[in-house]
């Protein structure tokens, strides 16, 4: 084959390849130009499904919670007024036992005090006898003075009529009477009686032990009432009602710090103490709880750590909502199918409720669902058939 034929054949092959490529490009452009186009639709608006509940204003007490330690209204250390050996310990002088005022707790050996009383009574009898004799001597002296008709001054007259001797005898009688009374009191003090209704906290006395006026025999606590000093933030004192005149203080409910308050003990606020707590700088409110609770109550114990719920001042015409329904200072309201993110005024916020005094109206439905990204006026819906759909909700329907 000649060289000229070879080159001619090569150019023919190149031309065919270029033609094929050109036809492919033109065909693809025609297909793209003549392909059907899909019309773009705007995204559908889907109303968020929520749960709601109506609100109604009412009067609600502000409820505060504080903590404190139970102590007795009265607590004393039992001590003897006289010295002696412990002869007998009363059956009710046992730690934890209750007693009534006047019950015998301890008896001391009274032998020495009975002898002292007998001696004092003998001294009194002797003094009275001397006084009686001196009264007779005065009568005789008066008779002799009248017979003699002596003219003397008052000082000499008193001496002649034995008035100093009579006064001395009278003073001796009075001293002897005091000695008898003192001996009787000391004899009575050998029996130690309960000074009030109460409970025995502890006992240190033992039969046969020698005691004196400085010996601690035990600790007694009054059973009339418990006192609890409750730590309360100073800013919350405005919600607590303190006694003024005939108006009692706020009521309280006291229960163990770890309980759920089913068996709380009712009580009342007594006073606001004059000092603040060292730790936390909180105010101290004194609360009293009577001990006349029934058997259905778990009894309070001295030194028990308790929580105290105060029924504080009543707020009128407020809405009580769950904390989960209040978002910062806003409430979500279902406004005819649209979300109304509405600012409200919080009168009081507690751990388990919030009181709203402005921003809501009776009968409005608040949204109780948790919305991830709420937008004001966004479309919402509920499963309630009575809800009237908003224009935004109608537009969202297919």
Residue 342's nearest CA partner among 327, 357, 355, 354 is: 327
Q: Are residues 131 and 175 in the same domain?
A: yes
Query: Which residues sit opposite 220 in a β-bridge?
Result: 76, 200
Q: Are residues 262 and 386 in the same domain?
A: no
Question: Is residue 34 domain-resident?
Answer: no
CA distance 201 to 42: 81
| Number of compact structural domains in the chain | 4
Question: Is residue 13 domain-resident?
Answer: no
Question: Is residue 127 domain-resident?
Answer: yes
- Global pTM value: 0.65
The per-residue pLDDT string of the chain (398 residues; one tens digit each, 9 = 90 and over) reads 555 666 666 666 676 766 667 777 676 666 666 656 656 666 566 788 889 999 999 999 898 989 999 999 999 999 999 999 999 999 999 998 999 999 999 999 999 999 999 999 999 998 888 878 777 767 666 665 566 666 666 666 656 556 777 778 788 889 999 999 999 999 999 999 999 999 999 999 999 999 998 899 999 999 889 999 999 988 889 999 999 888 899 999 998 888 776 678 999 999 998 888 766 678 999 999 988 655 556 788 888 999 999 998 999 999 999 999 999 899 999 998 889 999 999 999 888 899 999 999 999 999 998 888 888 988 988 886 544 443 333 433 43
Q: Are residues 134 and 178 in the same domain?
A: yes
SS3 letters for 333-356? EEECCEEEEEECEEEEECCCCEEE
């Amino acid at each position: 084959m000649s060289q000229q034929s070879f080159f001619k054949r090569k150019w023919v092959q190149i031309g065919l390849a270029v033609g094929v490529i050109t036809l492919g490009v033109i065909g693809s452009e025609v297909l793209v130009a003549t392909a059907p186009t899909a019309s773009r639709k705007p995204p559908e608006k889907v109303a968020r499904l929520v749960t709601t509940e109506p609100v109604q204003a009412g009067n609600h007490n502000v409820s505060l919670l504080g903590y404190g330690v139970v102590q007795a209204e009265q607590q004393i250390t039992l001590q003897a007024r006289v010295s002696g050996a412990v002869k007998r310990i009363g059956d009710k002088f046992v730690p934890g036992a209750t007693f009534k005022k006047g019950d015998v707790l301890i008896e001391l050996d009274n032998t020495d005090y009975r002898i002292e009383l007998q001696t004092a009574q003998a001294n009194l009898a002797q003094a009275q006898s001397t006084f009686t004799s001196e009264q007779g001597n005065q009568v005789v002296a008066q008779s002799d003075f009248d017979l003699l008709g002596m003219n003397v001054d008052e000082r000499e007259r008193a001496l002649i009529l034995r008035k100093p001797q009579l006064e001395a005898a009278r003073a001796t009688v009075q001293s002897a009477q005091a000695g008898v009374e003192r001996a009787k009191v000391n004899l009575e003090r050998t029996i130690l009686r309960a000074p009030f209704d109460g409970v025995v906290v502890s006992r240190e006395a033992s039969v046969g032990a020698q005691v004196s006026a400085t010996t601690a025999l035990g600790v007694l606590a009054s059973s009339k009432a418990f006192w609890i000093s409750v730590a309360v933030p100073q800013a919350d004192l405005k919600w607590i009602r303190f006694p003024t005149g005939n108006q009692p203080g706020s009521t309280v409910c006291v229960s163990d710090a770890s309980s759920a308050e089913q068996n709380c003990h009712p009580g009342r606020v007594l006073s606001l103490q004059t000092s603040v707590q060292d730790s936390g700088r909180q105010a101290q409110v004194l609360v009293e709880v009577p001990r006349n609770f029934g058997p259905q109550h778990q009894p309070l114990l001295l030194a028990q750590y308790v929580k105290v719920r105060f029924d504080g001042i009543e707020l009128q015409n407020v809405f009580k909502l769950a904390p989960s329904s209040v978002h910062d200072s806003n409430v979500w309201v279902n406004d005819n199918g649209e979300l109304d993110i509405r600012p409200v005024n919080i009168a009081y916020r507690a751990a388990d409720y919030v009181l709203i005094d402005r921003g809501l109206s009776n009968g409005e439905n608040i949204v109780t669902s948790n919305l991830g990204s709420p937008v004001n006026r966004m479309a919402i819906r509920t499963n309630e058939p009575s809800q009237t759909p908003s224009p935004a909700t109608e537009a969202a329907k297919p």
